[in-house]
Structure 1
Amino acid sequence: MSTQEHLEGSIDCEVLEHVLLISINRPAKRNGFTPKMFRELGEAYTRLDDDPALRVGVLHAMGEHFTAGLDLPTIAPLMQRGEKAVPLGLVDPLNLGMEGYRRRTKPMLVAVKGITYTLGIELMLAADIVVAADNCRFSQLEVKRGIMATGGATLRMAERAGLGNALLHLLTGDEFGSAEALRLNFVQKVVPAGRELDEALRLAQTVAAQAPLAVVASRLNALKAVEHGPLVAMHEFIPVQRRLANSIDAAEGVRSFAEKRPARFSGR
């Protein structure tokens, strides 16, 4: 890795059986995101979706903090030109469904700790399950910088916590802790600092042990219910269940039940 690349940070990946561990690596700058890091994060999320051996992703950060958010000196020129840092055609880590980007299909868990500002909140809200250390410091502080949160916070905070709770934090840019994040359904579990990654990996490995096709289908149906309404999601029940019931994994599920043993799923 060159000196320039080190200064710009990196997104590092490690495969742990069926889990892709994705690490935000720029601790000297509180993991502030540069264009390079955005691009590499999109590449990591795309790798998760495209590799059939990978079933679950876990996002975490090196150092004491998750991320202080955007590295504004490097990102501001992109904002001024109306450009995105993640190249078109990749999976969008913010999962917004914007034109030209793919949406993630496989589950993503996030372990957050320490400073988790702006983009950090939006990345965790875009994921599926969030484990927070009890020392987290959250802030959606774009209004303090003269800009608006455009990574999903204005959408997902209100969906999770109600409009009033969302605006409380969006309009003040105040700092709040893990207990408040749990109350607002921004995170799913709070654990003692230092144990957040272990817990996220434990949950990821549990998810990875389930039938992959059923996991993806369940995730996408729940997401559709949130974004398009329960009636739209309900119309998928019969065709999706029919497809799943005819899979090799469904046959293995029945066989393992009859034989009273753990199932060995192949993702087919």
Structure 2
Amino acid sequence: MRTITSTRAIQLWRDAEAGSVGFVPTMGYLHQGHLTLVRKAAAENDAVVVSIFVNPLQFGPSEDFGRYPRDLESDQALLAGEHAHVVVFNPTPEEMYPSGFSTAVEVEGSITQILEGAKRPGHFRGVTTVVNKLFNLVRPTRAYFGEKDAQQLAVIRKMVSDLAMNLTIVGVPTVREPDGLAMSSRNVYLSPTERQAALVLSRALAHARSLWQDGERSAPRLGSAMLDLIAREPLAKVDYVSVADPTTLQEIEGTAESALVSMAVFIGRTRLIDNTTLRS
């Protein structure tokens, strides 16, 4: 395993790499969800690049950029154990955004203005700017993203399509703890009591899936059922619950043939997201 910290060095590495490259962009503090992406990338490519970069552009002024968990040594140890041709790209903010940097990449339209986009203004502009730059540096054959961040995945696919980028975006199913909690680097913020309360997200999704399997197709009723379940957890505060078209992410007002059910919920101070897709 090799660690590269400069943009020029990662470009030179890619110039010398003749085979296919799988790319896994992360903000570090790796867990089994990230490693699932790395393993899939390793199985489908000759080499793998994992970026570890906490991107300041995608955090709002009152968000957790400063306290976002970081442990590069642990991340490197986890990746070294994967027995793959892994290169870690770990630039500083100053390396990625040097003095005078003034360019942004933004996907316009409702896909970035609803759900996470509405709750976190500027977030997706920061995501698409950094991902575009990382794609330019790494020039991957395939890039791997978790489906837990469903809207982010949709936005990146839109950017890649609109700009005719020469790579394939691969979505990978959400990896969960044995009790159902979606793996997230932010789970480390949770106290033991909050960790137990956080299970309300996966329970709400399971409830929606159960109703769907029993024939419920009304989006409003599915949303209300999830909200009612979450309301029973005293530590949970709903930011949003959505039952939306899986392609456009627009809210479904009536009956649904398929739906992306997603939510953002505060457990104490920690904001968690989760989703599932319901199909006939």
Higher relative contact order (CA 8 A, sep 6+): 2
- Normalising to structure 2: TM-score of the pair? 0.24
- Normalising to structure 1: TM-score of the pair? 0.25
More helix by share: 1
